[in-house]
Structure 1
């Protein structure tokens, strides 16, 4: 078994294990961490097949999207962060395991990307466009309408998530700028005629 087969076995097993962790974890924090690790493991599989641009895109875009998703989950579920911080020592072993797995997977990914023989790592032809250029040409020519529709759907989803998590608290004084600007002097100033020596 070559190094590419060994790396594939590690990343494929990690994807399955972290995917099961997303499903069976009871704590939303643990689910998000498992989902991020599953994305990183999938990025390692992309590196093995020579699609380094897709691997980079998966880590940057999807891991960032998971962070935003976690933000909305926290806003909607109203998680008590004081309680989470109180159990820091209890969550520390799980965090150490995730960090160690992340370091190992990144090491295998870098080694398979830079040290694998040419026969095991598919490489684009030197005289043609590279992976990113080919993906861009296909995405912005043949599938440009689908790309724009996907962007519109994501925009609507983002606006919907903001509206769902927006809460109006009652009993809070707010500033009405138009009412302040349009206020007349008579509405805010009262001239009182005070007789001499009697006071108000």
Structure 2
């Protein structure tokens, strides 16, 4: 066993352990940190496969941006996850069986792509380029239409998320920017006269004083 194979098994073992701890950690913050560890080990595996662009994109995009946002939201909300985790170990065996079945189905579908009889050589004009530049050339030439379809799907998802957030609900608090712009000076400040209950306060003081307030 050479060094690359040994590192692959080490990174894969840590990746599996971190992925398992993501769903079993009692603290949400700890689960997010284990997910960061899983991302780092996945990027190390990609580095061993000489996919430097995917490795650095995983670190910069997911670890540097997405996970920081997750941690910020989790620490800001500070919700109690005991109710969420109620009955976790009760339903864990069924969830584990379903997960194994899904993994086997994915293995049946994806293993065919790894059984390559002949490795297709890279084009001579791409062989002189780096991995990142060669990936960009192939992505924006041969796979341009799938890339555009994925971009449209993400755009629809963003619009749907905004529409669901901005819909009018009874418990939602939102303001119309057009009404805020049209507001006048007189509408910004409203003075309310509040009557002062002096007589009630004086009677309370007299009752509290000894001998009915008499000297």
Q: If the TM-score is normalised by the length of the shorter chain, which range does it land in?
A: 0.5 to 0.7
Of 140, 145, 168, the residue aligned with 2:172 is 168
User: Of the two structures, which has the highest relative contact order with CA contacts closer than 8 Å and spacing of 6 or more?
Assistant: 1
Question: 1:127, 1:74 → 2: CA distance?
Answer: 45
Question: 1:37, 1:58 → 2: CA distance?
Answer: 12
CA distance 1:15–1:179, change in 2 (3 Å): same
Q: Is the 8 A contact 2:43 2:59 kept in 1?
A: yes
CA distance 1:164–1:31, change in 2 (3 Å): farther
Alignment RMSD, CA only? 3.9
Structure 1: 5+ residue stretches without partners: 84-123, 188-200
Partner residue in 1 for 2:137 = 137
Question: 1:165, 1:36 → 2: CA distance?
Answer: 28
Higher gyration radius (CA): 2
CA distance 1:7–1:32, change in 2 (3 Å): same
Matches within 5 A, 1:1-200: 1-63=1-63, 64-69=65-70, 74=74, 79-80=77-78, 128-162=128-162, 168-169=172-173, 176-180=179-183
Question: 1:159, 1:68 → 2: CA distance?
Answer: 20
Question: 1:36, 1:80 → 2: CA distance?
Answer: 19
- TM-score, normalisation: structure 1: 0.55
How far 1:27 moved relative to its partner?
Answer: 2.4
State the aligned residue count: 140
SS for the counterpart of 1:176 is: helix
